[in-house]
Amino acid sequence: ASRSILDFVREDARLMGQNLSAQDKDKLDEYLTSVREIEQRLARFGQSSTLPDADFAVPAKAPRKFEERLQVMFDLLALAFQTDSTRIATLMLSHEGSNRPYPEINISRGHHDLSHHDGKRENLEMIAQIDKHHMTYFARFLEKLNQSRDADGNSILHNSMIVYASGNGDGNAHSHTNLPVLVAGRGGGKLHTGRFHKVASMPMSNMYLEMLEHLGVHGVDKFGDSDSRSVEI
C-alpha cells in the first residue's frame, strides 16, 4: 500500500509539538488533518471507475469528475494559504470556451451554447444555475479560509484579498464590459466588504492597481490596460 506523506514527517511533527503552545498545537493538527483528508479523497478517486481505459497516460488517482477535481483544487489552495506555502494563487474553473454540460445539476446542454442565450428565459435560468453551482464551491473555499487562523489571530480570509470574476459581461455577445466581479476578504482590514458597488466604466486593471497599493506595493503607475482613475474597494 502507498504511504502517506505524513509518514515522513510524523516524528518531526511529534517533536515539534512538544515545544508548542496549545493554540499552535491546534494549528499544526489542522495542517496535518487537512493534508490527510486530501490524500484520502485522492485515494478514493483511484479505486474504481466505469469509464473505458484511456489510450494515453492518466495521472495516478486523478479525480475524474469535474466537481471532484474542483473541490480538491479549492482545498489545495486553502491548504497552501494555511501553510504559507504561497500567498498568491489563481484558479480557472473552466476555460471561457468550455461547452461542458452539468449533469450533476441536471443540465445536459453545453455551457458555451447556453451562454449565447439570445435573451431566452430558459437559457438564462440554466446559466444562473451554473453560476450558482460554481459559486457554491467558491463559498466553501471562503468558509474554510474564514475558519482558519493566521499568525496574528485573524482568519486567513480576513487577511486576504480574493477576486472571483468572469471575462465576459454577457456571453451572448462576448461582451467584455460591465464585468461581474466579487472581491472577498478584508485585506487585513483595508477593504470594505458587504457592499454592492457599481463603478464607472473603466479597465478592470485599475482594481488590481488598487489592490497592489493595499498590499504595500507603491509606485506602480501602470498595470495592463489600466488608466489613472482609481476604484474604491
Residue among 50, 54, 13 at smallest CA distance from 35:
13
Indicate the Cα dihedral angle 43, 162, 31, 34, nearest 10°. Answer: -30
Cβ atoms of 61 and 42 closer than 8 Å: yes
Residue 41 belongs to a domain = yes
N- to C-terminal Cα separation, the chain: 50
What's the pLDDT at 30?
Answer: 80
Does pLDDT of 101 surpass 70?
Answer: yes
Residue 105 belongs to a domain = no
What is residue 3's DSSP assignment? P
Does pLDDT of 56 surpass 80?
Answer: no
Q: Can you tell me the mean pLDDT for 174-200?
A: 90
Residue 200 or 69, more confident: 69
Q: Can you tell me the mean pLDDT for 154-167?
A: 95
Average pLDDT in the chain: 86
Q: Can you tell me the mean pLDDT for 56-81?
A: 82
Residue 1 or 231, more confident: 231
Residue 16 belongs to a domain = yes
What's the pLDDT at 94?
Answer: 85
Residue 163 belongs to a domain = no
Residue 42 belongs to a domain = yes
What's the pLDDT at 175?
Answer: 86
Strand partners, 182: 164
Residue 141 belongs to a domain = no
Residue 68 belongs to a domain = no
Number of domains in the chain: 1
Residue-number span of the structural domain to which 2 is assigned: 1-48+56-61
What is the rounded distance in angstroms from the CA atom of residue 28 to the CA atom of residue 204? 38
Which cell numbers in the block locate residue 169? 459581461
Does pLDDT of 1 surpass 60?
Answer: no
What pTM does this model have?
0.74
Does pLDDT of 167 surpass 90?
Answer: no
Residue 220 belongs to a domain = no
Does pLDDT of 188 surpass 70?
Answer: yes
Cβ atoms of 140 and 133 closer than 8 Å: no
Percent of the chain with pLDDT over 90: 46
Which cell numbers in the block locate residue 215? 498590499
Which cell numbers in the block locate residue 1? 500500500
Does pLDDT of 35 surpass 90?
Answer: no
CA angle 145, 151, 152 (to 5 degrees): 100
